Amino acid sequence: MLKLGLIGKGISRSQSARLHVLLGRMCGMDVTYDYLDSDVIKDFDLIKQLTTCAETGYAGVNVTHPYKTSARKLITPRKRLPEALGSVNTVVFREDGWRGDNTDFVGFMRGYQKQFGDAKPGTVLQMGAGGVGLATAFGLRGLGADKILIHDKDAARGEELVATLVAANANAAFVGEDDLSDAVRASDGLINCTPVGMNQYPGCPFDTDLFGGQKWAFDAVYTPVQTAFLRAAAKSGIDVMTGFELFFFQGIEAFEVFSGAEIDADAARDEYFNAYPEALTG
């Protein structure tokens, strides 16, 4: 039995459980995956919850909003986690302590390479500097982006992410509202790491009239999979990567960390879509 879970706030609609259970079944493992929701658990405390999980047989847990940054301060980072990446989404309980990783960061890179091959990201404009934005920005750094442009309505948060990237030797800059249109036009890649486009927050974070010269686009939103942003980008001749790719590859990476197994991603994709065909459209 491999006992896993997800710690977060308002996570009842997460699809993580069905992915991890399916991956376990592929490996001949009996997997349970619990939702540990701070909206449901009375007097929730992150340290207390992690300690309880460690003491009650969990192999590990995923951590999502709004606890990724706090969790980073409580764990020993795995070797591949960049020192400046100040959040984790995967915690593994070992006899010698709690180990943490950010599989969003690695999952984004794997998804990009699956979708676009060896093509370099070029100059990229990213909307959103929150938790997933931190991970994708470091993914862009890992992929060798020429320049990472960050825009966030909270300018202080955007500037903080830029400072973190620059300290990690990435070429990054903050883009304010006045310069946003020019930045969209000048970019090779466009990324949405805001909630805009989710079922509960409909719309498109970019001015679609500026589309046409860009090469690729990615939306971290995966409910729905085909967002207004990606539909408009594809219509303009831009190659697109859906948020499902990030969800899928970060999940595989996390499961491999939890279990020690190696997952055949192509086989897992086929299994997942056979089991959940609606995932293709969201």
Please say if 272 is a catalytic residue.
no
Q: Could you give the residue ranges of the DSSP H alpha helices within the chain?
A: 16-26, 46-55, 68-72, 103-116, 131-143, 155-167, 180-186, 228-235, 243-259, 265-275
DSSP string spanning 140-200? HHHHT-SEEEEE-SSHHHHHHHHHHHHHTT--EEE--GGGHHHHHHH-SEEEE-SSTTSTT
> How would you classify the pairing of strands 90-94 and 97-101?
antiparallel
Identify the active-site residue in 58, 67, 222, 272.
67
Q: How far is CA 133 from the centre of its chain?
A: 8
Catalytic residues: 67
